[in-house]
Amino acid sequence: MEIRKVQITGGLSYIVSLPKQWIRDAKIQKNDPVGLVVQPDGSLLITPKIGGESAQRTRVFEVGAATDRTYLLRLLIGAYIAGFAIIRLDSKGRMPPFILQLVREFTQMAIGQEVIGETDTSITIKDLLNPAEMPFENTIRRMHLLARGMQQDAMVAIRGHDAALADDVVARDTEVDRLHWLVARQDNLIMSDATLARRMEIPVARAAYCFQVSRIIERIADHATRTAHNALLLIDRDIEAATLDRMDEASALALQIFSWSMEAFHTGEIEKANTTLERVRDLEEMTREIDTRVLRFEAVKAIPTGQVADSIRRIGEYSGDICESVINYTVGQTA
């Protein structure tokens, strides 16, 4: 940290000199304007970015016939989440057809990504989404509704032996993933450009908090997907009515805890978050009872039924994690 003394000029204005190396790196010339942004903690952000637009960062990947498809997809998702505005794939020879197909899949998976240029040896993908048009709160609300509906339908699929509904739940997990990637991307963009937080009207700390909750919801959706996979394993198996009823009761409680945790998140009610945490113990008792019942089943039914009970318990526990995040964040903001 460089320490600079505040001086007074003309008896009216307070001034402080700026580091010469920073001026050179930012290519600031005499009489160029800079932006001053007061941060929530009282510190002052000085930035050469005053036009309201973030820098258009570009990431380039060299690809070819030997490129691993899964690895490249992970790279594309990583570049998207990292906040690169432009992603370019370059090939020394003609672009392999499987890469063209992969790019199409990626642009369908990632929100705001579109191919803006394509030649025999190069593909350029650009982010066309204005981050301010997708507020964190709205995205997280959508994720909550999707994940909740997935678990509800997965349980219906178990009772109704409905393979089509279970498959639909599995397919919906992609929608939750792409929304989580969007939250992760926006959080990274804000971390690298504090002026974006001002344009989105969200403090940097709140953005990180939203990312944390988004990640938990994505895991809850994963367990709803796991429930759907186990529903498929139980399609031709009958489970006694009493056990099914208990599983439905446990799932309903888990989803109620989930909804309560999200209410606490949106309102910042510490007391509600704390009360909701207490209900997780009730859910754990219910799932233990289901596990005891499952011990009487033959293995082909016991294993998937036990995994469903475990996923129900994990949904409740992850919801408890949201409540803990609410308490930690809210206490920190009100200190």
Q: Are residues 111 and 159 in the same domain?
A: no
Q: Are residues 267 and 139 in the same domain?
A: yes
More confident residue, 47 or 263: 263
164 token code pair: 């089509």
Query: pTM of the entire structure?
Result: 0.86
Q: Are residues 170 and 67 in the same domain?
A: no
Q: Quick one: pLDDT at residue 178?
A: 96
CA distances for 82 relative to 6, 58, 74, 114, 192, angstroms: 37, 11, 12, 17, 10
Q: Does the pLDDT at position 54 exceed 70?
A: no
CA distance 270 to 323: 8
Q: Quick one: pLDDT at residue 29?
A: 79
Q: Quick one: pLDDT at residue 210?
A: 96
Q: Are residues 323 and 292 in the same domain?
A: yes
Residue 264 lies in a domain: yes
Q: Give tens-digit pLDDT for 166-199.
A: 999 999 999 999 999 999 999 999 988 777 777 7
Q: Does the pLDDT at position 10 exceed 80?
A: no
Q: Give tens-digit pLDDT for 239-290.
A: 999 999 999 999 999 999 999 999 999 999 999 999 999 999 999 999 999 9
- Domain of 186: which CATH number? 1.20.58.220
Q: Quick one: pLDDT at residue 333?
A: 85
Span 132-139, average pLDDT: 90
Lowest mean pLDDT among 1-10, 60-69, 100-109, 129-138: 1-10
Residue 310 lies in a domain: yes
Dihedral, CA of residue 191, residue 192, residue 195 and residue 199, to nearest 10: -60
- Domain of 12: which CATH number? 2.10.260
CB 77 within 8 A of CB 103: no
Given 80, 103, 129, which residue is the final one in a domain? 129
Average pLDDT, the chain: 91
Q: Give tens-digit pLDDT for 196-207.
A: 777 788 888 899
65 token code pair: 């016939």
Q: Are residues 186 and 314 in the same domain?
A: yes
Among the listed residues 149, 144, 147, the one whose alpha carbon sits nearest the alpha carbon of residue 261: 144
23 token code pair: 């001026």
Give 91-95 contacts, CB < 8 A, sequence gap 24+: 91/62, 91/63, 91/64, 91/121, 91/122, 92/62, 92/64, 92/121, 93/64, 93/65, 93/121, 94/120, 94/121, 95/63, 95/120, 95/121, 95/122, 95/123
Residue 303 lies in a domain: yes
CA distance 92 to 254: 53
Given 102, 129, 156, which residue is the final one in a domain? 129
Q: Are residues 239 and 260 in the same domain?
A: yes
Q: Quick one: pLDDT at residue 192?
A: 81
Q: Give tens-digit pLDDT for 221-230.
A: 999 999 999 9
CA–CA–CA angle 232, 236, 242 (5° rounding) = 90
CB 144 within 8 A of CB 217: yes
Residue 1 lies in a domain: no
Q: Are residues 62 and 170 in the same domain?
A: no
- Domain of 105: which CATH number? 3.30.110.20
Q: Give tens-digit pLDDT for 275-328.
A: 999 999 999 999 999 999 999 999 999 999 999 999 999 999 999 999 999 999
Q: Quick one: pLDDT at residue 149?
A: 98
Q: Are residues 125 and 144 in the same domain?
A: no
Give the pLDDT band of residue 51 (cuts 50, 70, 90).
low
Task: Calculate what percentage of the chain has a pLDDT beyond 70.
Answer: 94
Q: Quick one: pLDDT at residue 47?
A: 73
Q: Quick one: pLDDT at residue 196?
A: 79
Q: Does the pLDDT at position 332 exceed 60?
A: yes
Q: Give tens-digit pLDDT for 29-45.
A: 777 787 776 666 666 77
Three-state DSSP at 294 gives: helix
Q: Are residues 83 and 66 in the same domain?
A: yes
Residue 110 lies in a domain: yes
- State the residue range of the domain holding 189: 132-334
Residue 52 lies in a domain: no
Lowest mean pLDDT among 47-51, 74-78, 100-104, 141-145: 47-51
Q: Are residues 207 and 110 in the same domain?
A: no
Q: Are residues 253 and 238 in the same domain?
A: yes
Residue 39 lies in a domain: yes
Q: Are residues 96 and 240 in the same domain?
A: no
Q: How many domains does the chain have?
A: 3
Residue 29 lies in a domain: yes
Given 114, 129, 144, which residue is the final one in a domain? 129
Q: Quick one: pLDDT at residue 201?
A: 81
Three-state DSSP at 210 gives: helix
> What spatial distance separates the first Cα and last Cα of the chain, rounded to whole Å?
26
Q: Give tens-digit pLDDT for 13-33.
A: 778 888 877 787 778 877 778
